């Protein structure tokens, strides 16, 4: 093989190795470092919301009192899911665009408020950017899901889950999976990509409202207890 050809082949090999290293570094950044940064930011937002809620004037108003319109991209609630750990607390922002979901869980615009009649629909990453719904498949029927807002707490219980294509927008209808039906109850819907590391489908969890509690009452004892292993 001529020397020039050997140099060309060797140079091409070096370029491919370098490109491979850059690709591995990008994957590491995408799957690990974005989580580190996002988790730090989301924890900070939860702390800010907690202080803000605590500083609000005491009120016995129902937890379902409709809040003032929330500006797009603004954090307004905290989602707590005991099944995912006693420290699971993620901020909920208005909107579900790419930039908003990098900051935490997103609330589909136009869907119900926490505890309100209709369907409060939320979306979250399953991988990257803090991956709040990474283990959404662990949720079981009866598991508690709590949405905390400035006015109080809305406690839901998981009803069921489905796996659907991304086009199945009926899952966030006022009556889940029944587009056009009039809202006759209070639902919470959680959506995430499925399977992990893919956006081919959506993993969707539906939960029914159990009760609401004004902030001055607090949550009943045991609401945020982590379910026993195997339960």
Q: Which of 159, 226, 224 is nearest to 186 (CA)?
A: 159
Active site amino acids:
125, 193, 202
Cβ contact 129:35 at 8 Å: yes
Q: Which tokens go with 221?
A: 């004892």
Q: Which residues contact 71 (CB under 8 A, 6 or more apart)?
A: 94
Task: Kindly state the tokens that stand for 83.
Answer: 């099944």
Report whether 157 contacts 225 (CB < 8 A).
no
CA distances 56 to 215, 225, 231, Å, are 10, 26, 37
Reported residue count of the chain is 231
Given a contact cutoff of 8 angstroms between Cβ atoms, the answer to whether 146 and 200 are in contact is no
Joined together, the tokens standing for residue 58 give 């005491």
- Per DSSP (E only), the strands in 33-183 are 75-80, 89-94, 105-107, 118-123, 144-148, 152-164
């Amino acid at each position: 093989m001529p020397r020039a050809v050997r140099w060309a082949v060797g140079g091409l090999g070096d370029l491919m190795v370098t490109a491979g290293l850059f690709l591995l570094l990008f994957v590491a950044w995408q799957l690990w470092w974005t989580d580190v940064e996002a988790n730090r930011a989301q924890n900070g937002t939860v702390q800010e919301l907690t202080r803000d809620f605590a500083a609000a004037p005491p009120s016995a108003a129902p937890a379902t009192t409709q809040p003032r319109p929330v500006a797009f991209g603004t954090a307004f609630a905290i989602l707590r899911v005991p099944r995912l750990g006693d420290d699971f607390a993620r901020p909920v922002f208005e909107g579900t665009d790419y930039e908003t979901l990098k900051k935490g869980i997103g609330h589909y615009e136009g869907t119900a408020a926490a505890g309100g009649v209709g369907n409060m629909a939320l979306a979250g990453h399953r991988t990257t950017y803090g991956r709040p719904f990474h283990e959404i498949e662990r949720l079981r029927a009866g598991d508690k899901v709590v949405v905390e807002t400035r006015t109080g707490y809305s406690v839901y219980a998981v009803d069921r889950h489905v796996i659907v294509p991304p086009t199945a927008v009926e899952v966030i209808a006022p009556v889940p999976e029944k587009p056009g039906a009039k809202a006759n109850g209070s639902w919470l819907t959680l959506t995430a990509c499925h399977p992990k590391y893919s956006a081919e489908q959506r993993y969707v969890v539906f939960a029914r409202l159990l009760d609401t509690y004004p902030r001055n009452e607090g949550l009943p004892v045991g609401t945020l207890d982590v379910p026993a292993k195997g339960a």
